[in-house]
Structure 1
Amino acid sequence: MRTARGVTARELGLLIVGACLVSIVMHWPLILHLGDDIPRDLGDPLAQAYQIAWDGHALIHQPLHFFDANQFWPFGDSLAFSDALIGYAPAAVFGTGPHAAVVRYDLMFLFAYALAFAGAYLLGRELGLGPGAAAVVGAAYAFAPFRLEQDGHMQVISSGGVPLALALGIRGYRRQRPWWVIVAWVIATWQLLLGFTLGLPLAYLLVALYLTGAIVWWRRGRLPIPRGLAVATVVGALLFIGTGIALSRPYLHVADAHPNARRTPEDVEEFAAPPWAYLVAPEENFVWGDATKPIRDSLGNVPEETLFPGLAILVLAIAGLGSSVFPRWLRVALGVAIAVLAVLAMGFHGSGIVAYLWPYRWVYEVLPGWQAIRVPGRLDTFTALGLALLAGAGLERLLAWIRTRGGAIAWRGGAALAAACVLVVLIEGRGLPFDPFDTQAQPTLRPAPRSVASVPAPQLHLPAERPSDNRRYVLWSTDDFPKIVNGRSSLNPAWTARLIHRERNFPDRASVRRLERLGVRSVVLHTTRVKHTPWEDAAEKPVSNLPLTRYREGDLTIYVLRGTR
């Protein structure tokens, strides 16, 4: 394997600027509408903007009760109802309220893509690729076509810590620099703090890499290990493992209190992808969206079963299998890993013995932690990293052929080819720079209603049977975070759904008494959202004989229950 020239400070600076510019240009015009527009849709991004905002709030105001979020009152550990995105907590200590939460989310979205590009670039460089080929690795990893479908899932697109941790770890061991090893473990721990969706597979990847390294070390005669590297490895591993144990505790509490938190085989199969899902690109994909529509329409869950890796990436990766820039063992290892992960990402199908013909069923049944994972297809992130590395090696193979011609023409031709490959990968994965045809979804979010921070809490917001309503309520609750019965996460407690269903006749005597017994102190009726819901006429119902006070604040009708303290 060719050893790459060390990444200089100048190259690192250009990489940071370039990665940020690529992220901004390929998601244009999001940077011009921070806080007003949000990537992908008005679904999960709203709830995740709330989660990040809560992380910052809890970090400052209640670090010892971090997971006791204000949503889903009266339940504790409600932040653990989905991936908590704790890694972004430091970014959330500045700014308050819904607008700041969306600005922050937009910036973290752009940051996630920039870091994925930069982390993969540095991994490619550390493995011996030149700058041009490493840029292809960054583009192929960050902008693989399937990732466009995941833009609504911050815990999935926030994958830059994976290649960055690997790059720094390789650098530390190769140069025998313990501090680089420590930093690599810190980055891996940060990736884990973003959620188990990618953190759990990363943990197993690290175990596999260290076991492989231990076997190689043993077979080569157990050469002495520098004390500094050994200490750094142990300290870093303890940090990662300790964080994982601490992070898992609230999730285990939730699993004990809410049996539906554990993913049943039926849950996993619902999100399992068929083999032809690898031929399906997102509907918004500029190149392949229309062409793959017939196959896409046959899928049961399009957002989680869209796995197309990109034709340009595949062609370069196939070429990379024969590239001498990587040693044969590394090319074989990457090829095998890609094949295994591609099969695992399809999950399992069928029941009985048939389900066990799919390798993922054995992973689900045997290995700790996997019963908490709902969507096997998100393993495609790791498949994409392997393909990206081989794609970079494939470009190096082409560049080596061009270099045989010699002279300045060959140098300029190589640079042009590298730039062209990066551009092709970006266009196939995300579309034309600056999105001239407006193919990417960046919906505009309506301004939040008047603040209800001063309204007595716990609060119940109505209407509340639609996910779209509850996502907005949790986002709007970022103004001082009053406790609310509403919430929206991967796990939505059946108790909360039953309570909201029983409150369909609010305000009447039975519904008010029920809320009094529970300790709910106020109900906030959003009159602009009640159409075609059971609460369409709630604001006109008489309340003179009920133990509550009603008043209006703009588009809100607020009921304060007098029977609670």
Structure 2
Amino acid sequence: MRARSHLIVIAFFALLAILSTYPLIARFSTHVIGDSKLDNYEYVWKMWWFPHALTSGLSPFTIPTLYFPYGYSLAYGEITPLHTVFMTPFTLLFGEIVSYNLSVIGSTILTGWLTFLLARRWYLRLEGEFTPRLIPLAALFAGAAFAFSLYRQHRLAGHLPLLDTQWLALSIFAFDRWLAQRRLRDAALTAAAVSLSALSSWYYAFMLLLLLPVYTAAYGLNWRGLLTDGRTWRSLLIAAAIVGVLCLPFLLPYLQVAGEGAATIPVEDAAFWAASPTDYLVPNPLHPLWGTLVRPVIWPFPSPMITEFLTSIGLATLVLGLYGSRRTRGKSWRALKWLIAAAFVLSLGPYLTLSRLPLGIPLPDLLLREMLPAADGIRSWGRFSVFVMLGFSLLGGAGLLLAVGSAGARLPGRRAQIAAAGVVALMLFESWTGPTPTVRVEPRLVDLWLAEQPSAAPIMEFPLSAALSGPGMYYTRFHGKPVTYGYGTYLPLLYVERHPALLGFPDGASIDQLVEWGVQYVLVTVNALDYEGFTLQDVTAQPRLEFVIRLGEVEVYTIR
């Protein structure tokens, strides 16, 4: 494949990425994707924090002014070094908002392109009655189906580490080549791809650790020949060296947090955040035309739907993928199908649920939590669905190639190409989630006011949902005060476990805790009280709190 052809494919995915996220391109330096301020703010803050810490001579991993007076470890959540560290030059040149948005758009382009390359390599080996000119279109289908899958689409609003799905496609591409030829360069590329996956999200490192052995077992190797081949052991040494050098420095903070017993997720939480079989089968629940009709299948409750459960494969990709599964043969395809099956089972969590209704049937994840280190720290097993989506994207492209190719035997070549292009367009329309919302990244009025106050005493914010949040982290950049809270995968659970008195705010016990920490200002975010156990009237009735000022939706109190 010539360089010009690569550039055309990259330009295709770049255009789709820009169009699908419009109007972000027109607000690239001021806004991020999302209809609210959530995890998007957390990762914008982290992308600012690392360069700031490194250029200020501070430790980037431990921050004493967050979760004061105990100190905050970034390992309470995703450090995502690929963005926070390796994007530092872009952050220093253009600022953290542009750097964040480049990461989002870039991950979509790379996911499409690398999946295209993987699909094209496999489709060239397919047997069937089709013209070779259909292969690029089928590979474009696979790349677009994965790059614009619902798994990725809803994560554009803030799950930055999980957007780097391009390294998963590269891992399969390189590992499959190594299994076929056992070249050292393929071992090095596999190790680099796995490392980049880990440096994006430790979730992906854990998934690859479980799924690549499944892929290997299903590939159909001569195990005696594999184990007696010197290239195997040289490849393992090279891979271990690459992964160790790239990943170990960033793994150490997590080992420290795990040693404190702070990286364990209760099994009830792990079961709640798991996928349901029905999640895969429904049409796109975010589609403007039919989304409201199918949403109750995956979220049968009156409260707003939690987007973590959006793992729909899409009808076009599902149907073509099932057809492709029947028609494809060979070691790589067999290994891929076993990988999909394993990822599907693992995505269901420790106990089976059906449309969020628990059935209480234990699943393999429950055993893995007991057997594997770090498995009890996995909150969302449903994220294994990313490999189901990757697999069905590849099978769907193969199904398109074989189906249209068979029809093309009776049609002129041009009509077969038009039919294939029409299916690609149909799949993209089905994956559409409507206009992309964006939110401005900026401080609140209260943050600017706090920055002007001379006191260096710590502050606290209520409700806890406002404090233990991505925006709560980001705003510290502007007011510069110590805060007695933080955010991350593990900290919200630990926080209420360690400081239960704060759950009773504004009662006396909660005020006593704040006094013990030396808190001066207490912020109350008024528009976040709808689902809380206290009202603004309860706050004003607390005699130990004195009203100072209201700025926007935040009221400021001092402790008497």
TM-score range, shorter chain: 0.7 to 0.9
Can you give the 5+ residue segments of structure 1 that lack an aligned partner in the other structure?
1-6, 544-549
In 2, are the aligned partners of 1:140 and 1:313 still within 8 Å (CA)? yes
**What CA deviation, in whole Å up to 9, does each residue of 1:28-85 have, x standing for no partner?**
2122223235325322222232233323434544575524475323334521112222
1:404 aligns with 2:409: yes
Partner of 1:472: 471
Instruction: Please state whether the residue corresponding to 1:216 is helix, strand or coil.
Output: coil
Alignment match of 1:250 (pick from 245, 248, 253): 253
Alignment match of 1:277 (pick from 264, 276, 279): 279
CA distance in 1, matches of 2:288, 2:486: 35
**Any residues of structure 2 matched to 1:374-413 within 5 Å, and which?**
374-402=379-407, 404-405=409-410, 409-410=412-413, 412-413=414-415
Instruction: Please state whether the residue corresponding to 1:381 is helix, strand or coil.
Output: helix
CA distance in 1, matches of 2:373, 2:468: 35
Partner of 1:73: 68
**What CA deviation, in whole Å up to 9, does each residue of 1:140-189 have, x standing for no partner?**
11222344344442233332211023324445676776445424422321
Distance 1:377 1:458, change over 3 A: farther
Partner of 2:363: 358
1:372 aligns with 2:377: yes
Partner of 1:88: 83
1:320 aligns with 2:313: no
**Any residues of structure 2 matched to 1:335-350 within 5 Å, and which?**
335-349=337-351
Distance 1:212 1:479, change over 3 A: farther
Distance 1:232 1:63, change over 3 A: farther
In 1, are the aligned partners of 2:282 and 2:314 still within 8 Å (CA)? no
CA distance in 2, matches of 1:467, 1:272: 25
In 2, are the aligned partners of 1:19 and 1:117 still within 8 Å (CA)? yes
Identity %: 22
In 2, are the aligned partners of 1:146 and 1:281 still within 8 Å (CA)? no
Alignment match of 1:427 (pick from 426, 429, 437): 429
The amino acid that maps onto 1:488 is: Y
CA distance in 2, matches of 1:357, 1:555: 45
Give the Å deviation of 1:295. 1.4
The amino acid that maps onto 1:234 is: L
The amino acid that maps onto 2:201 is: G
After alignment, is 338-347 or 526-535 more displaced? 526-535
1:295 aligns with 2:293: no
The amino acid that maps onto 1:14 is: I
1:127 aligns with 2:129: no
Instruction: Please state whether the residue corresponding to 2:459 is helix, strand or coil.
Output: strand
Partner of 1:218: 223
Give the Å deviation of 1:367. 2.7
Partner of 2:142: 137
Instruction: Please state whether the residue corresponding to 2:123 is helix, strand or coil.
Output: coil
Partner of 1:18: 12
**Any residues of structure 2 matched to 1:138-177 within 5 Å, and which?**
138-152=143-157, 153-170=159-176
In 1, are the aligned partners of 2:546 and 2:558 still within 8 Å (CA)? no
Distance 1:542 1:163, change over 3 A: closer
After alignment, is 393-402 or 217-226 more displaced? 217-226
Partner of 2:192: 186
1:200 aligns with 2:195: no
Partner of 2:130: none
CA distance in 2, matches of 1:555, 1:393: 53
**What CA deviation, in whole Å up to 9, does each residue of 1:332-381 have, x standing for no partner?**
33333323322221113379xx9564222223332332111111111100
Give the Å deviation of 1:298. 1.9
CA distance in 2, matches of 1:28, 1:69: 39
Give the Å deviation of 1:468. 6.8
Instruction: Please state whether the residue corresponding to 1:462 is helix, strand or coil.
Output: strand
CA distance in 1, matches of 2:252, 2:496: 22
Distance 1:177 1:148, change over 3 A: same
Give the Å deviation of 1:216. 1.6
Instruction: Please state whether the residue corresponding to 2:221 is helix, strand or coil.
Output: helix
Give the Å deviation of 1:308. 1.8
**What CA deviation, in whole Å up to 9, does each residue of 1:381-421 have, x standing for no partner?**
01111111111111221343255358xx40x2343233222
Give the Å deviation of 1:95. 4.6
In 1, are the aligned partners of 2:278 and 2:298 still within 8 Å (CA)? no
In 2, are the aligned partners of 1:82 and 1:490 still within 8 Å (CA)? yes
The amino acid that maps onto 2:432 is: R
Give the Å deviation of 1:500. 5.0
The amino acid that maps onto 2:295 is: K
The count of aligned residue pairs is 528
**What CA deviation, in whole Å up to 9, does each residue of 1:540-561 have, x standing for no partner?**
9769xxxxxx899999898999
Give the Å deviation of 1:289. 1.0
CA distance in 2, matches of 1:219, 1:297: 49
Instruction: Please state whether the residue corresponding to 2:350 is helix, strand or coil.
Output: coil
CA distance in 1, matches of 2:13, 2:299: 34
In 2, are the aligned partners of 1:461 and 1:473 still within 8 Å (CA)? no
CA distance in 1, matches of 2:213, 2:457: 45
Distance 1:40 1:517, change over 3 A: closer
Give the Å deviation of 1:116. 1.9
After alignment, is 37-46 or 422-431 more displaced? 37-46
Partner of 1:239: 242
Alignment match of 2:438 (pick from 437, 442, 465): 442
Partner of 2:110: 115
After alignment, is 126-135 or 370-379 more displaced? 126-135
After alignment, is 73-82 or 117-126 more displaced? 73-82
Distance 1:542 1:79, change over 3 A: closer
In 2, are the aligned partners of 1:273 and 1:377 still within 8 Å (CA)? yes
CA distance in 2, matches of 1:536, 1:516: 18
Give the Å deviation of 1:312. 0.2
Give the Å deviation of 1:457. 4.3
In 2, are the aligned partners of 1:464 and 1:470 still within 8 Å (CA)? no
Partner of 2:24: 30
In 1, are the aligned partners of 2:65 and 2:72 still within 8 Å (CA)? no
CA distance in 2, matches of 1:297, 1:514: 38
Give the Å deviation of 1:202. 1.6
Instruction: Please state whether the residue corresponding to 2:438 is helix, strand or coil.
Output: coil
In 1, are the aligned partners of 2:119 and 2:142 still within 8 Å (CA)? yes
Alignment match of 1:330 (pick from 304, 329, 332): 332
Normalised TM-score (structure 1): 0.79
